[in-house]
Amino acid sequence: METISGLFRRQWPAVACGGLLWLGAFGAGWHWAPTDPTGVSLAPKEGDWELFTEILARNVGVSAALFLGVVTFGVMTIPLTLLTGVLAGYYWGQGSAVLGARGVVRHLLPHMPLELACLALAAAAGLVPLVAFARAGLTRSGGDAEKAGLLARAGLPDACRLWGVALAGLVVAAGIETWVST
């Protein structure tokens, strides 16, 4: 049975690319976010299963869009990662400006690191075929049949495993956001 650490060791270039792309876009969105509280509600939400389902559905939807870039061999993951990362950073940045430091620690920090890491991992999963293809082209070792086998073996199965890890983390993050951060 393969371990998660073995998966990460094998797919570290895709994980690094997905993380840099997602977190860079998130940081840009956060930086450009206005400090105007327009559209930000400070009304507390009650932690319940309905809120948990809403949060989880939103995050799984974003992660699915990022992951489904594998259908285009990772190419569509790039613009989707930039778009969703900037939008998420924008909204979180606006929320943090309204909440202040104490509110960020209380309402964002408990779930934010895990949620962001899982979304970056979903982006990495979507980039696996593109990164595997680039690595195969850069190493120029083996014949075309061997490279095609590499893409088949390291591409979709690893992408699915990475996305599975991301989904598991998003379930935990949604639970923390629902019952701790609210």
CB count in 10 Å sphere of residue 14: 30
Which residues neighbour 3 within 8 Å (Cβ) at sequence distance 6 or greater?
A: none
**Alpha-carbon span 108 to 114, nearest angstrom:** 11
Are 81 and 18 a contacting pair, CB within 8 Å?
yes
Q: Which amino acid is at 24?
A: G
pLDDT grade for 37, boundaries at 50, 70 and 90: low
pLDDT at 180: 92
pLDDT grade for 106, boundaries at 50, 70 and 90: confident
Residue 14 in this model has a pLDDT that exceeds 90: yes
Which of 27-41, 126-140, 161-175 is the most confident on average? 161-175
Residue 95 in this model has a pLDDT that exceeds 60: yes
Helix (H) or strand (E) holding 164: helix 156-179
For tokens 């998130």, name the residue.
Answer: 26
End-to-end CA distance of the chain: 38
pLDDT at 45: 80
Backbone angles phi, psi at 155, to 5 degrees: -80, -90
> Interior CA angle at 64 toward 94 and 160, to 5°?
130
Are 158 and 11 a contacting pair, CB within 8 Å?
yes
Are 7 and 166 a contacting pair, CB within 8 Å?
no
* 130's tokens: 């593109």
pLDDT at 145: 58
Q: Which amino acid is at 39?
A: G
**Alpha-carbon span 129 to 160, nearest angstrom:** 11
Residue 17 in this model has a pLDDT that exceeds 90: yes
Average pLDDT of span 86-104: 88
